[in-house]
């Protein structure tokens, strides 16, 4: 039997956006001195949020285009939204919303 598709309700999208914005520290095995690889970022995004791979690829592409590597490392290491680099939360929310909205469903 095919796996159930995640709900597209506004509450579900908000929950996914929050999960994407606040990737919990250590979820990608990135210490303070290591750069998080693009493939690892995308893989953990799918794993942690259960969003479609196409949406995760979109988010990853946009994050790596928008932010410098040091900022990406800080985003990944943030344990809470408050620990995100300056202005990252709003940018991530826009990226998430646009990439998730582009998904059929």
Report which DSSP code applies to 89. H
CA 103 – CA 88 distance, rounded (Å): 23
CA 58 – CA 78 distance, rounded (Å): 21
Q: In the chain, where are the structural domains located?
A: 26-101
pLDDT tens-digit readout, 72-96: 888 888 777 777 888 888 888 888 8
Structure tokens at 80: 């809470």
Write phi, then psi, for 67 (nearest 5 degrees): -115, 155
- pTM greater than the 0.75 cutoff: no
pLDDT tens-digit readout, 26-48: 444 445 568 889 998 888 888 87
């Amino acid at each position: 039997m095919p796996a159930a598709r995640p709900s597209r309700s506004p509450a579900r999208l908000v929950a996914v956006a929050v999960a994407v914005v606040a990737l919990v520290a250590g979820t990608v095995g990135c210490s303070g001195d290591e750069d998080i690889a693009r493939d690892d970022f995308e893989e953990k995004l799918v794993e942690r949020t259960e969003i479609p791979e196409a949406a995760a690829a979109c988010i990853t592409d946009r994050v790596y285009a928008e932010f410098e590597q040091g900022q990406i490392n800080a985003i990944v290491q943030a344990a809470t939204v408050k620990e995100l680099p300056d202005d990252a939360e709003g940018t991530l929310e826009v990226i998430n919303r646009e990439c998730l909205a582009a998904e059929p469903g």
